[in-house]
Amino acid sequence: MEYIKIRFSNDLDDVESKLDKTIAGMFHSMGPSFSFSRTTWKPQLDIYETMDKIFIVADLAGVERENLELEINPRAMRIFGKRQAFPPEKNGRYRLAEIQYGPFERILYMRSPINTETVTARYKNGFLHVEMEKMPYPAKQKVPINME
């Protein structure tokens, strides 16, 4: 059985600005030759949950497992990696370029804290399946207020 790298982290804030992503996406839509050297695309996701688990399915067709990573902490998850482009045939010219290549990233903030010890991930047929167990919320506790 092969494993997907899962990195545990509390720092998931290293994200490019929205403006950079918008401009890069605009040029990429004109064709791969117009892409900036470091564009980022976002894979499509399905997220569903039960009372005690959260399930995420990411569409990552064409991504090699070695180019796929997952970072997780109790409140967030980051899926990132890279999809390699297929070069056109010699003397070929693009007429349409809709498939996104290069680095990708999705950061998801969880509504419920998750147990990072029980997270499982598998990659099959171009889909990443992640299963996370929700942690129970701590019981509310009243704090007495003293008079001075």
Q: Where are the domains of the chain?
A: 5-10+42-85+100-134
The sign of the CA dihedral 22, 111, 117, 62 is negative
Q: Which amino acid, residue 139?
A: A
The sign of the CA dihedral 104, 109, 112, 118 is positive
Rounded Cα distance between 119 and 65, Å, is 18
Reported as a single tens digit per residue, the pLDDT across 62-104 is 999 999 999 999 999 999 999 998 888 888 888 888 889 999 9
Pairing between strand 68-73 and 5-8? Answer: parallel
The number of beta carbons lying within 10 Å of the beta carbon of residue 136 is 9
Given this model, what pLDDT does residue 121 score? 96
What CATH code would you report for 5-10+42-85+100-134?
Answer: 2.60.40.790
